[in-house]
Structure 1
Amino acid sequence: MSLILTYILADDDEIYREYTLQQLNSVPGLQCLSVCENALITREQLQHHQPDLLVLDVEMPDLTGIQLAKSIKQLPFTIFITSHPNYAADAFELDAVDYLVKPVQTERLLRAIDKVRVLAGIKANTSAAEAFQQKDEESFFIKDKNAFLRIAYTDVLYAESLGDFVNIFLQNGEKKIALVSMKNLEQQLPQQIFIRISRTHLINRQKVTAVENDFVHIGKMQLPIGKTYAETIINSIVGNQAIKRFI
């Protein structure tokens, strides 16, 4: 039996609101709890309902979608929609599952909902105790479907926060999802190997290929350094290993 996902839709633009609602109504396994025309109404509805998913417009009067998300202590899985791609960084700092640009293509919306289904399925079928287990000084285990998958520290490039989950990106190009918060992951991994560079990302120090004031490079991947982390990242990663002009 497939998992039914409940959702709340919020958008102040009536045309886009109706358009998105029609798209969502055509997707099997979704149940609408409320359709809201501004963030304040949405906040009130979130206090009365506990949806699995929040489909949230960014640009709304009085209170933006970003501001609303920051005001909610326990945010459901969230898909942001917007007319302006430059808000993406702010959205992902809030552990958004996805970020869609209007007019949202149906196939793109379906991909975002599929991500939510995967996360909801993991959450429903995995206990916190078995989701992540540190094994030894070289590896850890995560629950992957019906098996426990062993991952060596040396195979991890970086981890990305998704609220109660993390995406773990591996050296072979694969991505694994674990039901553990970034905070708990950081506490369980060895600090001499892994370091937090933002609210969203934790990286393997040994995989860093370059460091700038605002970004860390891991191969071709460029990850932003959070403002509150910036002062310590270069010293922590580079330290005294840089070749000096004079000694």
Structure 2
Amino acid sequence: MAIESLVVDDEPLARDLLAGYVKQTPFLHFAGACSSAVEALTVLQREKIDLIFLDIQMPQLNGLELSRMIGTQTRVVFTTAFEQYALEGFRVDALDYLLKPISYAEFLRAADKAQRWFGLQDGKQEGPVAQGRSAQTLFVKTEYKMVQLRLDQILYIEGVKDYVKIHTEDGASVMTLMSMKAIEETLPADRFVRVHRSFIVHVDKIKTIERNRIVFGKVYIPVSDSYRERFMQLLSRRSLLL
């Protein structure tokens, strides 16, 4: 099923460019283009929109304000010429943040991330087997580039203030501007589980659990009370004896 996509930008050239990108992307369906957030709000009230490519700096109602008014099932990719808005954009759990001028390659990476997110939501309804097949890689933005990570290389993810730090099996780590909630929603829930407000772990990589702590070499990750039940349920499906 195509993702119903809306473009919102008060600049005609930018709006037309993004509309063209949406139309040429097979898994996106162009639902329309709006010249203001106020106009977009009217569209959102009468139509089901899955994804918005949303400019931030607009008169009357800006993109950040609009993003706080829409439901959680409508996801946002921010588009802007001002890099200083990146942190605020991720605080409202945007799927991605594109800095103008936007190439089609950059647009496609953000669209692919949206496709994976919506695929995961469908997988949650179909069961863990379908969900597990939905994604094998994860694109994250670090500094001024996009990095593709294989999910089977990730050990755990650590929340560090407004960033997340992704730790891999080879001992490397990647820091990206994203909330723990946003990355938790992006990752397959049958393989990754949150065990603490600051930690998400790859269940298949767990070898040792000691005194309510997951051991990865010299790193000890606590399992907090609020996340223990979900964690134990996921372990029980793998027939681990604790």
TM-score per shorter chain, which class? 0.5 to 0.7
Please point out which of 187, 191, 200 is paired with 1:177: 187
- In structure 2, how many angstroms separate the alpha carbons of the residues matched to 1:19 and 1:7? 14
SS of the residue 2:94 aligns to: coil
**Residue identity in the other structure for 1:74:** T
1:55-70 aligned within 5 A:
55-70=53-68
Report the TM-score when normalising by structure 1.
Answer: 0.58
- In structure 1, how many angstroms separate the alpha carbons of the residues matched to 2:115 and 2:19? 18
Structure showing greater Rg? 1
Aligned to 1:156: 156
Aligned to 1:212: none
- In structure 1, how many angstroms separate the alpha carbons of the residues matched to 2:189 and 2:104? 28
Q: CA deviation at 1:105?
A: 0.7
Please point out which of 188, 194, 197 is paired with 1:195: 197
- Structure 1 residues not aligned, in runs of 5+: 132-142, 161-166, 197-201, 205-247
Please point out which of 89, 104, 107 is paired with 2:102: 104
SS of the residue 1:32 aligns to: strand
Compute the RMSD of aligned alpha carbons. 3.4
Q: CA deviation at 1:22?
A: 1.5
Please point out which of 89, 92, 101 is paired with 1:91: 89
**Residue identity in the other structure for 1:158:** E
- In structure 1, how many angstroms separate the alpha carbons of the residues matched to 2:4 and 2:134? 25
C-alpha contact 1:97 1:116 (8 A) present in aligned 2: yes
C-alpha contact 1:23 1:106 (8 A) present in aligned 2: yes
- In structure 2, how many angstroms separate the alpha carbons of the residues matched to 1:24 and 1:82? 17
SS of the residue 2:119 aligns to: helix
* 1:80 maps onto 2:90 in alignment: no
- In structure 2, how many angstroms separate the alpha carbons of the residues matched to 1:146 and 1:29? 15
Please point out which of 29, 34, 37 is paired with 1:36: 34
- In structure 2, how many angstroms separate the alpha carbons of the residues matched to 1:144 and 1:74? 22
**Residue identity in the other structure for 1:83:** A
C-alpha contact 1:38 1:61 (8 A) present in aligned 2: yes
**Residue identity in the other structure for 1:178:** P
C-alpha contact 1:128 1:179 (8 A) present in aligned 2: no
SS of the residue 1:95 aligns to: coil
C-alpha distance after superposition, 1:45-86 (max 9, x if no partner): 111111221110111101100011012233512110001011
- Structure 2 residues not aligned, in runs of 5+: 136-150, 174-182, 202-242
Aligned to 1:145: 133
SS of the residue 2:60 aligns to: coil
Give aligned-pair identity as a percent.
24
- Greater shift in the superposed pair: 70-79 or 104-113: 70-79
